[in-house]
């Protein structure tokens, strides 16, 4: 079983749509959680951290459910510029800070 | 303050040749991570280095791959006797410390193509 699993998609949505991505992780000792964004296989860039209390940044909302070992990302009012691959990332205690990446979920926003 | 610098951006090698990928971390960062991304896959951790030390190489293939981060100069990922399966994007990231909440800063990557 992969340490971090995501539905690869692609998700094809019209502009203005709301879209949700899910991610599960296998290691219950996982400590920190992030969503990264990657455009056309360029370097991944941090989108937002994910906390148990949930956090929101503009049109983006991230949620963490430790009991279910599940992370989500919600994008409201999708823009063309949101088209990218979204990577679910975890670290866990004693892991020397290295990031464990999911394979990514591809989003394509259509006009 | 320059970001993480990787070179070359693109590297073409024939089977059996050696590939050397370089990474200069951000100024003030002494921790370097190398990741590999195969086509249609996510990034896979390869190795974590501090100056002159390999801290975690659990993601490195057992043969042909090596990494170093000397006291002076960039970190080097070396692949000997490359094969077609080594074709991938190789990303380097750096951080100032080891806190799991510390943001990693990624370079633009080196795209290795093996003919």
Please say whether the beta carbons of B85 and B39 come within 8 A.
no
Please say whether the beta carbons of A86 and A37 come within 8 A.
yes
Task: For residue A82, give the DSSP letter.
Answer: G
Highest mean pLDDT among A82-96, B42-56, B90-104: B42-56
pLDDT(B88) > 70: yes
- B residues 55-74 lying closer than 8 A (beta carbon) to A: 55-56
User: Which residues does chain A have within 8 Å of residue B42's beta carbon, measured at their own beta carbons?
Assistant: 4, 87, 101-104
User: Is the CB of A102 inside 8 Å of chain B's CB atoms?
Assistant: yes
Low-confidence ranges of chain A (pLDDT < 70): 93-97
Q: What confidence score (pLDDT) does residue A53 get?
A: 84
| d(CA B35, nearest CA chain A) in Å | 9
**Mind listing the pLDDT tens digit for each residue in B11-36?**
999 999 999 999 999 988 889 999 99
pLDDT(B102) > 70: no
The answer to whether A45 contacts B106, with C-beta atoms less than 8 Å apart, is yes
Complete edge-to-edge strand list for the sheet that includes strand B5-7 = B5-7, B19-24, B75-79, B65-68
pLDDT(B101) > 60: no
pLDDT(B1) > 70: no
Contacts 24+ apart (CB under 8 A), A98-101: A98/B33, A98/B45, A98/B48, A98/B56, A99/A34, A99/B33, A99/B35, A99/B43, A99/B45, A99/B93, A99/B104, A100/A3, A100/A4, A100/A25, A100/B45, A101/A4, A101/A36, A101/A44, A101/B35, A101/B42, A101/B43, A101/B44, A101/B45
Q: What confidence score (pLDDT) does residue B100 get?
A: 52
**DSSP per-residue codes, A3-33:** SEEE----EEEETT--EEEEEEES-TTEEEE
| d(CA A37, nearest CA chain B) in Å | 12
The answer to whether A43 contacts B108, with C-beta atoms less than 8 Å apart, is yes
B75-87: average pLDDT: 97
């Amino acid at each position: 079983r992969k340490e971090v699993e995501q539905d690869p998609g692609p998700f094809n949505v019209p502009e203005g749509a709301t879209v949700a991505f899910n991610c599960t992780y296998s290691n219950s000792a996982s400590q920190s959680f992030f969503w990264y964004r990657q455009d056309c296989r360029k370097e991944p860039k941090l989108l937002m951290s994910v906390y148990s209390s949930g956090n929101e940044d503009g049109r983006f909302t991230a949620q963490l459910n430790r009991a279910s070992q599940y992370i989500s990302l919600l994008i409201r009012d999708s823009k063309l510029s949101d088209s990218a691959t979204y990577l679910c990332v975890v670290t866990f205690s004693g892991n020397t800070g290295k990031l464990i990446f999911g394979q990514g979920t591809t989003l394509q926003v259509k006009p | 303050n320059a970001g993480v610098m990787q070179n070359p951006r693109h590297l073409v090698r024939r089977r059996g040749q050696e590939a050397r990928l370089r990474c200069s971390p951000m100024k003030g960062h002494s921790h370097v991570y190398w990741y590999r991304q195969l086509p249609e896959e996510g990034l896979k951790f390869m190795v974590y280095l501090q100056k002159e030390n390999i801290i975690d190489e659990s993601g490195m293939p057992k043969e042909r791959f090596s990494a170093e981060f000397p006291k002076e100069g960039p970190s080097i990922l070396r692949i000997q006797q490359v094969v077609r399966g080594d074709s991938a994007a190789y990303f380097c990231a750096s951080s100032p410390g080891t806190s799991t909440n510390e943001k990693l800063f990624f370079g633009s990557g080196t795209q290795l193509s093996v003919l």
